[in-house]
Every structure is written in structure tokens, then in C-alpha cells.
Structure 1
Amino acid sequence: MDDSTTTGDFADLLEANRRYAATADVAGFDGIARAGVAMVTCMDSRIDPLAMLGLSHGDAKILRTPGGHVTPDTVVGCVLGVHLLGVQRIMVVPHTRCAMASGTDEEILDRVRQASGLEPEGFVPGADPDQLGRLRADLQLLREHPLLAGRATVAGFLYDVDSGLLTEVA
């Protein structure tokens, strides 16, 4: 596929963006998290991070990863959020019925092999069937990080994709 011809594949999204931009009130924001919140959550499309907390545009920093796991990039985002962008509270929010909690890395890699017909060499998905254990480890990593410890409140929650409710777990 010629990269210069991909715009047609996104025409519906570009048209929706033009409609959004015509009425969106996005000018003038400074990038500070107005509610002082950063959230690490899953990339799952059933999660609407701002809406589920009653927040809106400009209120929070949202960092999304498969499984809502804390990765090196999310640590960077949290550190920058705390020191430069007004973040005072960090939420880590995995969710129910998550594919990344449904098996081990090897099981997820088997699914990738079957779907692609390729060997995913060097690819580490970060799956963990002990979802709550992983959440506690992620929270410990953030709470003990020298650039975050004592500078932000860190808590873990489980989002129920069927009810829309958050439960604090750690």
C-alpha cells in the first residue's frame, strides 16, 4: 500500500473531525490538568476516561496502555504530569473482562501468531492473569519512584465495563 493514498481510508474520520472542530471549544488551554488528575488506563474502547469521572476536556492527563499497565512511558507521563502539568492525583485503572488479564504473554503471543501468520520476535505484550497483583505492583512502582514519592496521591481502581462503576482496590 502506498502511504500517500491512505487519506481515503480515513475520510470518514477526517469529516467527523471537521464537524467537531467547527463547534469545539478547544482554544486557549494551557495543558495543565485542571482537575489535577492523571489516569493510567487500558486502551479498551469501552472506557471513556473523562466521562466516567465526570470530567471534561482539559481536566486530566490520560495515559493508555494495553491492560492499563504502568510502563516506562507511563512513568514518564506521570512524572511530567506531576512536575509540569498540575497533576496531584494518579489513578491506575485496569478493567474487567480485559484481554491482557485473560492469559499469559505466551498465550497472547499464540493469538498474534495465529492472526498474523508471523513470529512476533522480541514482542512482549505484558499480559498478566493476576490483574490485581499486577495493579498492586504498578502502584508500588509509582508510589516509590523517586520523582513521584510524596508528590502525588496514587491509587488503584478496577473499572467494571458492564456497570460503568469504579471500585477502589489499592
Structure 2
Amino acid sequence: MNNEIIGFDDLLEANRDFARTFSLGGFDGVAHRGIAVVTCMDSRIDPLGMLGLKPGDAKIFRNPGGRVDEVAMEALILGVHLLEVDRILVIPHTRCAVASSTEEELHAQLDARTGVDTSWQHLHVITDQRRTVRYDVHKVRAHPLVPESVLVGGFLYDVDTGLLEQIC
């Protein structure tokens, strides 16, 4: 029985090309520059490139809005204690869909595209990015499993200029 799913051939071919020059085999998986980044899933963001990093330098966690939610906190705690993370950057971005729309507006868009009522799905809209990043940074700094020695900063990434603005 053939278990291949049609529609991924281009990506599998790209992966074979990537594997021909793959150089990270045997990598130990720690963050060699001691960095963890929480940022948005937005495809305009290159987390390593925007910080001058390369594969192996940092742990990257992405979700809508770049929030420090329960799962992101879990990743940060594991990073700090098991993967040599000693600096954490929380980086939402400009023109983010979850920060520039109300939950009602996003649901209206989803309803129109899906043809079903999506009001049951919480979308975690952000009403004030600067306040939210300060809250998330405080949440990390105050967590009992994140030592005071870990540096935690909050930034806003501008998707039009590529620049970071330090918020806290």
C-alpha cells in the first residue's frame, strides 16, 4: 500500500536538495549562543536572520502573536534548564493580524471562508502589543523556574524595516 500523500512533491524534492549539503548531523541540540526567542508564526519573520544567528544558536518558539502562553513557558523552562538558554527574547511584530483586528473581525473572516460559525474558537487577540509584551516578559521573569540570572527582554519587530525596538 502506498502511503504517500500527493501535494508535497515540491517540498520533498527541496528537502532532498537540502539534505545533500546538510551539515548539522550529530548536533547536540543545545542553544550554542544561549538564546531563546518567542515570536509570531508570521512568515515575514526570520528569527535567526533578524538576530544575526545561525542554526544551532537559539531555540525558537512560534505562535500567533508571539505570546508567552503555557506551551511557550514550558519551552522556555526546558530551554533554560536543559538546553543552555540564558537569554530570552519575546518578539511580537508590527501589522500582526491578532493585534490589528478584533476577535469579532477575525471570526467574521473565518466564518466567511469556512462557511461555519467559528465563535467557539478563542483567537487570543492582542489589544495593546507594548503592554502585552511587557506582561509576557514579566511573566517569564517572575516564573519560579526561571532563575534571576536569565536575561529576558521584550521587543517589537517591524516587518517593513526589519528593525527591532526594545520595549523592556
Task: Output the TM-score relative to the length of structure 2.
Answer: 0.94
Contact 1:82 1:151 in 2 (8 A): no
Q: Aligned residues: percent identity?
A: 50
Q: For 1:65-80, what aligned pairs fall within 5 Å after superposition? A: 65-80=63-78
Counterpart of 1:115 in 2: which secondary structure?
A: helix
Indicate the residue corresponding to 2:10 in structure 1: 12
CA positional deviation for 1:143: 0.9
Partner in structure 2 of residue 83 of structure 1: 81
Q: How many residues align?
A: 167
Distance (Å, rounded) in 2 between the aligned partners of 1:143 and 1:66: 21
Q: 1:140 and 2:135 equivalent? A: no
State how far apart, in whole Å, the 1-side matches of 2:132 and 2:29 are: 30
Closer, same or farther in 2 for the Cα pair 1:121/1:108, shift >3 Å?
closer
User: Mind listing any 5+ residue stretches in structure 1 that lack a counterpart?
Assistant: none
Q: Which residue of structure 1 aligns with residue 116 of structure 2?
A: 118
- Counterpart of 2:154? 156
Tell me, which stretches of 5 or more residues in structure 2 are unaligned?
none
- Structure 1 residues 69, 55: CA separation in 2 closer, same or farther (over 3 Å shift)? same
**In structure 2, what is the Cα distance between the partners aligned to 1:58 and 1:38?**
11
Cα distance in 2, alignment partners of residues 30 and 46 from structure 1: 28
Q: CA deviation at 1:149?
A: 4.2
CA distance in 2, matches of 1:71, 1:15: 35
Alpha-carbon distance between aligned partners in 1 of 2:98 and 2:125, rounded to the nearest angstrom: 5
In structure 2, how many angstroms separate the alpha carbons of the residues matched to 1:148 and 1:125? Answer: 27
In 2, Cα distance between equivalents of 1:110 and 1:139? 31
Contact kept in structure 1, 2:30 and 2:84, CA below 8 Å = yes
Q: CA deviation at 1:122?
A: 3.5
Q: Distance in 2 between matches of 1:134 and 1:127?
A: 11
TM-score, structure 1 length as denominator? 0.93
Give a deviation string over 1:12-67, Cα, whole Å, max 9, x none: 00000000000020112111000000000000000001011111011100000101
Tell me the alpha carbon deviations over residues 101-142 of structure 1, each in whole angstroms, 9 at most, x when there is no partner: 012223222221121111225411111121111111111111
Indicate if the aligned counterparts of 2:107 and 2:119 stay in contact, CA closer than 8 A: no
SS of equivalent residue, structure 1 residue 140:
helix
Distance 2:59 2:38 in 1: 9
Computed over aligned residues only, the root mean square deviation of the Cα atoms, in angstroms, reads 1.4
